[in-house]
Amino acid sequence: MTYKGTLTITIKKDSENKDGNKCVTVLIEDTGCGIKDEIIDRIFEPFFTTKELGEGSGLGLDIVRRVLFKHDGQVSVDSIPGKTIFKVSLPF
């Protein structure tokens, strides 16, 4: 978001994940520039980053993905310029 825009967090209980299980879903939406189509499939890879050298290690989203996997959770992302939504689901 380059330190400007709007970040919206929405929490939904009793939703269903893609496997049909009851879960809590957290939607994290921003109004930033979006994630380019050519890199969106790589953002969860370890050490992948679009930041300048020294600004990030590229491990954040990989760690999120691995932690959720251990708890039978899921994470996905949809992005267009001006609107990126990360969807995190955890079963209960």
Measured in degrees and rounded to the nearest 5, phi and psi for residue 68 equal: -60, -40
Cα separation, 49 vs 74, in Å, equals 21
| C-alpha to C-alpha distance for 36 and 21, rounded to whole angstroms | 31
Q: Does the structure show a pLDDT above 80 at 77?
A: yes
Question: Which of 12-16, 26-30, 38-42 has the lowest average pLDDT?
Answer: 12-16
The whole-model pTM stands at 0.86
Domains of the chain: 7-91 (3.30.565.10)
Q: For residue 56, report the phi and psi dihedrals to the nearest 5 degrees.
A: -165, 150
DSSP state at residue 52: P
